[in-house]
Structure 1
Amino acid sequence: MKIAMCQIVALDSDREGNFVRIESAIKEAGQQQADLVCFPETTILGWVNPMAHERAYPIPGKDTERLAKLAQQYDVHVCAGLAEKVVEKLYDAAVLIDDQGRILLKHRKINTLPHLMTPPYTPGQEVQVVRTKFGVIGLLICADSFKESVCERMGKLKPDLVLIPYGWAAKEAAWPEHGDSLRSVVQKAARSMHAPVIGTDGVGQISSGPWKGMVYGGLSVAATAQGEVIAIGKDRQHDIKVISLPLKPQSVL
């Protein structure tokens, strides 16, 4: 299968602009025959953005409906990170949507780093996979991947592929070297879970909280189950990186 790491610029609270950039990336990936397009963490409203407490939707909801329409329109599977509002709780979530617009899997981030936003995200609890026509796919989000217990739980589910949206941020002066730590985290997670990992980072800047001004520097990483890096996104700029992974097609349950 062909997978696109869609390393896009995402601006905090700019839902409409971010959807323009999401659609453009899906279109660009489709021109390279991508079967699955992957986006960064909280790509619609931004990570640790307190405005998401008021502006996020449930899942399913208006944001996932728009993503589903794009998946159908461009005949691709879509993985994207986004905020999820459930009554008074806000989750840092990710979804996998198929080319028919169906939500196949949702993950709520477990390792939420609560000191970075007030009120904080509510942590998720579950680690899950779903059987697709490409194989068994799992979802994690960013800091979940450097929590060994979470990776071990995922590994026990024997995924053929794990998709991880990232919001990998550091001070401006720390880039591009900070990309080395993302590469190491993805490699370690892939080896721990015995599965290839697609780690898609974004490009932009945190606008609120203790990490205000921190930069997302791209340098997305794809690694094999053995931890071999097979693709890296560009440094601090938009990039659509399409890679081929020899996953064995599965019959959908």
Structure 2
Amino acid sequence: MNERSARVRWEQRTQQPLLGLAVVFAVAYAVPIVWPAAGRDVRALCTAAEWGVWGAFALDYLVRLALAERRWEFVRTRWLDLAAVLLPLLQPMRLLRLVSTLLLVGQRARLATQIRLTTYVVGAVVALLMFGSLAVLSVERQSPDGNIKTMGDALWWSFTTMTTVGYGDHAPTTGLGRVIAVGLMLSGIALLGVVTANIAAWFIARFESDDVEERRQTAAIESLAEEVRALRAEVAALSGVPGVSGVSGVSGVSGGKVPRPGVAAEEP
């Protein structure tokens, strides 16, 4: 319990700073691509910012690992975090740093209970469109056979790829560009499935709520009808209606005839 509460406190305190660092990473990643004429100093500063953000996420993982009482279980259940931390070390590529940062931000966003699923999906769509466009532009701009040369072309291609429309007017020609395309396709299908499942779950919950309310109202009506029938039976018994059990006339009068006031009963 103490280990879990310590981890939860750490995750709550670092949630906003890490998301802010992710924005810094986005800017540092986008500047050299959108501004190809940037100087060497600007590019070096952006590269340092990218590695710095990755280092912050790696440090966050190590702290959470240190706060875990069952560390092997933590590593086993947080294997995606570990893979995202180790991925940029395998090969010093900017694309790997991009993928690892997106994975780490996504994992931390899922841990935040205050972020709703719809907000997360919208943010994921925007991030994938933005980073997918930047990534494909960075690898296709210098390709002699490529037709994705501007940011507008890259955004249009990313949108048609994520929605699996694929008009074909813009397409990657390099191997790395096609790898990015496959990632966007799979991500688009997955996000579409999440949105569809979320909408379906909302409708099902709404229908179940209406059904529960309808059953409650039906039960209340049946209970009220039963009470009305019981009251009618009691009123019928008190008024001496013939045919009601327990009522056979007035005692002391033979034949069930009631004499009128002032008139003697007739002798047989």
Per the TM superposition, whether the score is higher than 0.5 is: no
Q: TM-score of the superposition, structure 1-length normalised?
A: 0.25
Higher relative contact order by CA 8 Å / sep ≥ 6: 1 or 2?
1
**Higher strand share goes to which structure?**
1
Larger helix share, 1 or 2: 2
TM-score (norm 2): 0.24
